[in-house]
Chain A
């Protein structure tokens, strides 16, 4: 059953003497909505703004009483604003102007005198002064609950996984109890839409499409986060695959921060179709930051980590340095050269071999560190990332995959 459009009735009560009569029996004109805007730029609150043309009588014996009521909608009563913005004159609207009273004071020609709230009703009554009878364009704004938005993404990578197309969607969920016909919808960025969204509807709108976004596909080995791969390979660990997309102009994005949301990742299959690669939750990605999308585990790169040497050097008393050489043996069975990111959590290394490191370890790179390793400090000084280049598997079908062996020589200093 289609949910009935719940009423938000704006009634200009043109009664003469008793505007709020016993039992609230009303003779009401029902001005239609001329325009509705749904503002979703605030993540916590949704603002609805509607514009209506209200006929007003000249304030003579009484002011105009405008009754605004609603039912089955979660309008925040304390947020409702009534703003007269224009007056119709000669078929056109002009801004509300100030008029001068006999004593020289100026008041708006349309002026809200007060607001009264009846008991046990979702309603309020504005007492509105009008210098002359007119048709007044008013904006009524209010916060409404259960009209929310979430964000979703769809990423389509090309077959070589060099570029992708990222589409960003806003999904409107309308459980507010109200139908919005021809509503302007704006997320705070991107285009403004003119849409119809009825009660219980979910409306998915594409708000951005970024094409030719370069993909940085990474393979990450992190021993202390994932531990041993399996009992058969106690020194190997998982290799996690990610797409890293940088939200900047150079990478064909950088228009606005990317909001958190689910990302579904597809890849072109080379036959005009697509294959699903997986999905991940994207975190808020400010401009110039990187969105990391987890794709799963790679089985085509194998890395084992061996503590090749572990030597203690006394300094004084119980103070000592610990010199460690970690050897990594890596095989790349992929047909493409790549770079493996090895995350070494030196605080965990210290805790494993000596116990309390008393905070972040002090460390020094040793001379036995392989020359080909580049270092990155995305996670801070105590968690270096070793970047190791791996050649593609040999094209010669008889040739074996070359095992790349690198060493990280580290001295953890001043331990006790």
Chain B
């Protein structure tokens, strides 16, 4: 069974204005798309489709029918404008026939007779894209091969053949969802199966698009991947996929958009019980900048899969991969850091012990009852590194109340209640971090913060 016609059928109806519109028998011609450009947003389910077609107009009144059965096009967004003979062709009005959902008719007045190139734009739902990243470190964990991929999903109900694809990174505001607008008036929603399934990847190449499609194909057959051109646009970033792509309805397609080899990265261990739990966690950190062979564009939200190459015995070759971590990263602006949490590492151990407690500076109320005191505690934190490489260890601890903090190890305040210390710990060694914490209680508590001994001076 043939399903919908190409989602958008543009028909020049050479009918006189008096011809009844209510008739259900139409004789139409189907001018093919000359070109199509998809601008797909990832923050909302919206795609701006811009297509050009050639229609033949006669002098005087023309009726052009545009229909989009079984697609997710927002009817309120459809626009029409002539690209040729602009002064001679005028759109008079647009009629949305009540009896025919997903149809409209443009009444066009033309002073010109013959072929005219027109542009039709509209918003559609169901075309989406997302990024994902693959990072593979060398066996020594010093550098990584970082790749980012865009994956475009087509569940729009329509097959856009040899489309120029542009992807917008950034958040836009919509007051109504395109899918909701498309589904108004009980219009059925396309399923994943709808659309022309499994059409040839190269699809039916439009006459005028042939040259571009061939050029794109030629590049592929040279071994080149489609390149992704990145450029800033207002507060957004636009990724334009070189050449044309055809993504049949229901399919998705993944293309490499970012690649950087030999990206240096830092390995940091963080102990933040309040944030990461009771064990230190390992981070790989690098920046989206030129120093790290990146920084050409922001990196959109996406999942990172992190691997490590295994070293082959007696050889420096690749003996397969180890899977290290999976993490969703948020939008990474240019020069911002990328942090991947690898989780706890069994080879780095952190322990903390409260060694002694002392009470002092008692304050008594008028009834000679204790209403203020200080509690001085000695803590010893121990970090053991069993790795064969030195590590950097960041320790943050949160304290409640009025606290004086003293340690022979350089300590700073991350915020008003969080102490922060950084250590370098040699390979296969341990380090102790003693600290004396005096907490003020009752009437002795004057603040809700931590004061370092140095800051008291």
Contact = CB atoms under 8 A, between A and B. Distances in A.
Interface string A316-360: 111100000000000000000000000000000000000000111
Interface in A102-119: 105, 107-109, 111-119
A70 interface: no
Contact of A23 (B198, B253, B373, B384): B198
Interface stretch (B105-113, B176-184, B364-372): B364-372
Interface string A118-147: 111000000101010000000101010000
B221 A129 contact: yes
A107 B224 contact: yes
Contact of B201 (A20, A139, A318, A362): A20
Contacts of B346: 256-257, 259, 284, 286
A21 B201 CA distance: 8
A55 interface: no
A93 B343 CA distance: 37
Contacts of A41: 322-323
A107 B221 contact: no
B223 A42 contact: no
Contacts of B197: 22-23, 119
A272 interface: no
A52 to B, nearest CB: 13
Given A42-B322, A42-B324, A316 B364 contact: yes
A59 interface: yes
Given A117-B254, A119-B251, A39 B320 contact: yes
A382 B251 contact: no
A59 B223 contact: yes
Nearest to A114: B255
Nearest to B305: A79
A19 interface: yes
B277 to A, nearest CB: 13
Contacts of A79: 305, 326
Contact of A116 (B222, B252, B326): B252
Interface stretch (B19-27, B354-362, B407-415): B354-362
Given A413-B359, A416-B370, A113 B322 contact: no
Given A287-B386, A318-B369, A360-B377, A116 B201 contact: yes
B254 A114 contact: yes
B134 interface: yes
B221 A37 contact: no
Nearest to A81: B134
B100 interface: no
Given A21-B200, A318-B369, A362 B359 contact: yes
Contacts of B369: 317-318, 416
Interface string B247-264: 101111111100000000
B175 interface: no
Given A24-B198, A39-B322, A99-B223, A78 B303 contact: yes
B440 to A, nearest CB: 12
Contact of A143 (B221, B318, B323, B364): B323
Contacts of B360: 414
B220 A362 contact: no
A6 interface: no
A358 B441 contact: yes
B375 interface: yes
Contacts of A18: 200-202
Interface string A68-110: 0000000000110100010000000000000101000101110
B247 to A, nearest CB: 8
A117 B357 contact: no
A377 interface: yes
A365 to B, nearest CB: 12
B370 A129 contact: no
A39 B321 contact: yes
Residue from the set A44, A113, A361 with the largest chain B CB neighbour count within 10 Å: A113
Contacts of A257: 346-347, 386
A45 interface: yes
Contact of A120 (B192, B200, B357, B441): B192
Given A42-B322, A287-B347, A317-B370, A59 B221 contact: yes
A372 interface: no
Interface string B96-134: 000000000000000000000000000000000000101
Given A21-B200, A42-B323, A287-B347, 6 more contacts: A39-B320, A81-B321, A112-B225, A129-B224, A316-B368, A414-B360
Which 4 residue pairs are nearest across A and B when measured between Cβ atoms? Answer: A119-B250, A317-B368, A414-B359, A257-B346
